[in-house]
Amino acid sequence: MPSQALTDAYTELLSRAPAPLFARARQLYLNKYCLDGRSTQSPLRLFVVQETLDERVEDDQEAGPLGRVVTLQSSSTELAIVHWQRDEPPEQTMIETYLQQSWQLQPSQLSPVEEHWFRNGGYQLRMTLQEPLTWVRCSRYQDTDQ
């Protein structure tokens, strides 16, 4: 299971993200803002590479025959460690210290990527999590199409 710090950062990031309806804006947001927070000065930053979205609409038993509950779930297993605005890869000890101190993670399955992060953000390594980060939001509404 991802650490509480990483789960909290993922929740915070996605709670401010554009709605999935605006796919391009949402992807730009995820490329621009890191899990470390907007005010970070860290030379390494962690970004969500890709998210998987699942949306379900179910009857809302508490709201009567027209009541519905829509559940949106986002999950991510691939993250990018970016050596912020640097062309060279970070030292292994820097990566280990950053992941352990910031996210309580051990570096595993790190893969270098030839291209720099979004808009020349810096050298990037991809990291695959053993278990996905997950964010869930539910909303209730009344269906008027019956």
How many helices, marked H, and strands, marked E, lie in the chain? 3, 5
The pLDDT, as a whole number, for residue 146 is: 55
37, part of any domain:
no
Model confidence at 60: pLDDT above 90:
no
- Calculate the alpha carbon distances from 79 to 26, 108, 126, 129, 146 in Å: 16, 12, 6, 8, 43
Q: Report the 10 Å Cβ neighbour count for 33.
A: 17
Mean pLDDT, rounded, for 75-93 = 97
pLDDT digits (tens, 9 = 90+) for 3-40: 999 999 999 999 999 999 999 999 999 999 999 999 99
> 129 is in which domain, residue-wise?
54-142
34, part of any domain:
no
Domain count, the chain: 1
Q: How far apart are CA 129 and CA 122, in angstroms?
A: 21
pLDDT digits (tens, 9 = 90+) for 61-73: 887 788 888 899 9
Residue 145's pLDDT band (cuts 50, 70, 90): low
The pLDDT, as a whole number, for residue 2 is: 87
pLDDT digits (tens, 9 = 90+) for 109-139: 899 999 999 998 999 999 999 999 999 999 8
- Residue 69's Cα: distance from chain center in Å? 24
Mean pLDDT, rounded, for 69-88 = 96
